[in-house]
């Protein structure tokens, strides 16, 4: 009933009548062991069910073989897909993943830093909550390699792997204007993060380029207060309420760009309830191409974000950093393009819904 003590190198050594050292080298595939002894030792290790103790190994080697992952909100499909990719890529490279969820909460980030330091993780992949950087600096100062993911922290001098939101927003805005939109709205998250700024910049650039007058443009921030402990920070409900108030103002030939597809849900409902038809007199484009977006009616045009690529590249970047520990290599910034997927919500010319197979 009671679980037997874990098998150690010592157990194997005793069993085969050799020293711990030899067993260690045999199992590690080092050279200085005769092939027959090695085979013998391996067989015995198997027989006893030996599993190396990572903690002991890490302690002596001084490397944890672990990367810390600090995510704000796994319920965001973008992050959940990223987590999968990170974990898979990490394990391929021999790293385990220590996960901390910040829930957009600073206190949890402090907790994360604490945890990373205690474990002595080799590096951390971080989606930061706030512009504040002190705690991250502390982590870096302690010798942990840090790679920011998706959100940038200008004050922090370290690698970033993310998305080119500026360009994504630029293209999406152009697309809306090209499809005949005359008035533009931008609904954005009310968070002080780089992604929002980038999208706003791209939005502005497109408008300027096309000479859209300022009075035809409105930027609105969707409150991100939480309704309850278990709700998403980006509630469609918030966008819905905001859009409800907006709807009366929104003339035909309007375009609404929203910072994430959840917001589009609220906008759809507000418009539908007001008797407006999305994709006909009002166009909507979102960000993220969430799993549901292709299946809304009409299908939601959205900027698809390559979450897996970001996750994989982030791990690669981090592991590369770990490899050349504290070499002071200049910081790298990788950004992947989003891909605008056009569907019925912004397709004035053709009124049919987009092919769902296209997602």
Partner DNA sequence: ATGAAAGCGCTAACAA
Partner DNA sequence: TTGTTAGCGCTTTCAT
* Contact range with a second copy by CB under 8 A, out of 15-23, 57-65, 190-198, 335-343: 57-65
**Rule CB under 8 A: is residue 330 a binding residue for a second copy?**
no
**Rule CB under 8 A: is residue 6 a binding residue for a second copy?**
yes
Using the minimum distance from each CB to DNA, give the nearer residue, 10 or 231: 10
Three-class DSSP category at 115: helix
Three-class DSSP category at 184: strand
Using the minimum distance from each CB to DNA, give the nearer residue, 43 or 219: 43
CB 237 within 8 A of CB 266: yes
Beta bridge partner(s), residue 221: 188
Q: Following CA atoms 206, 207, 209, 214 in sequence, which dihedral angle do they give, to the nearest 10 degrees?
A: -160
Q: Which residues 80-99 are close enough to bind a second copy by CB under 8 A?
A: 80-81, 83-84, 87-88, 91, 96-99
The minimum distance between CB 2 and a second copy, in angstroms, equals 5
Q: Which residues 294-323 are close enough to bind a second copy by CB under 8 A?
A: 294-297, 307-308
Using the minimum distance from each CB to a second copy, give the nearer residue, 129 or 212: 129
Residue 221 to residue 236: CA distance in whole angstroms:
13
Neighbouring residues of 163: CB distance < 8 A, sequence distance ≥ 6:
150, 195, 305, 306, 310, 335, 336, 337, 338
**Rule CB under 8 A: is residue 167 a binding residue for a second copy?**
no
Q: Of 248, 238, 259, whose CA–CA distance to 302 is shortest?
A: 259
> Applying CB under 8 A, which of residues 16, 268, 288, 289 lies at the interface with a second copy?
268
Residue 31 to residue 237: CA distance in whole angstroms:
64
- Residues in the site for DNA, rule: CB under 7 A? 5-6, 8-10, 17-22, 24-25, 27-28, 31-34, 37, 50, 52-53, 56-57, 59-62
The minimum distance between CB 287 and a second copy, in angstroms, equals 15
Using the minimum distance from each CB to DNA, give the nearer residue, 35 or 215: 35
């Amino acid at each position: 009933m009671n679980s037997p003590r874990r098998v150690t190198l010592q157990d194997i050594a005793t069993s085969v009548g050799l020293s711990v050292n030899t067993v260690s080298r045999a199992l590690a595939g080092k050279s200085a062991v005769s092939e027959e002894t090695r085979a013998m030792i391996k067989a015995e290790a198997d027989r006893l069910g030996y599993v190396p103790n990572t903690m002991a190994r890490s302690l002596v080697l001084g490397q944890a073989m672990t990367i810390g992952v600090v995510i704000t909100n796994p319920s965001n499909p973008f992050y959940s897909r990223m987590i999968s990719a990170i974990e898979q890529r990490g394990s391929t490279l021999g790293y385990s993943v220590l996960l901390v969820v910040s829930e957009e909460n600073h206190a949890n980030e402090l907790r994360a830093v604490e945890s990373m330091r205690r474990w002595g993780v080799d590096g951390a992949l971080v989606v930061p909550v706030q512009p504040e950087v002190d705690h991250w600096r502390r982590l870096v100062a302690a010798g942990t390699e840090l790679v920011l993911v998706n959100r940038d922290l200008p004050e922090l001098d370290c690698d970033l792997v993310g998305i080119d939101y500026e360009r994504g927003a630029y293209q999406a805005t152009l697309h809306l204007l090209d499809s005949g939109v005359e008035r533009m709205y931008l609904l954005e998250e009310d968070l002080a993060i780089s992604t929002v700024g980038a999208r706003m910049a791209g939005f502005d650039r497109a408008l300027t380029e096309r000479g859209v007058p300022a009075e035809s443009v409105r930027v609105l921030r969707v409150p991100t207060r939480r309704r309850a402990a278990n709700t998403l920070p980006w509630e469609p409900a918030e966008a819905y309420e905001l859009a409800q108030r907006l709807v009366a103002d929104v003339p035909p030939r309007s375009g609404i760009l929203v910072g994430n597809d959840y917001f589009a849900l609220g906008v759809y409902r507000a418009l539908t309830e007001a008797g407006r038809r999305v994709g006909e007199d009002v166009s909507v484009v979102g960000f993220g191409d969430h799993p549901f977006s292709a299946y809304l009616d009409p299908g939601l045009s959205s900027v698809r974000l390559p979450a897996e690529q970001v996750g994989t590249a982030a791990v690669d970047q981090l592991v590369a950093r770990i490899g050349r520990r504290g070499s002071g290599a200049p910081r790298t910034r990788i950004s992947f393009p989003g891909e605008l997927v056009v569907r019925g919500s912004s397709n004035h010319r053709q009124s049919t819904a987009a092919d769902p197979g296209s997602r």
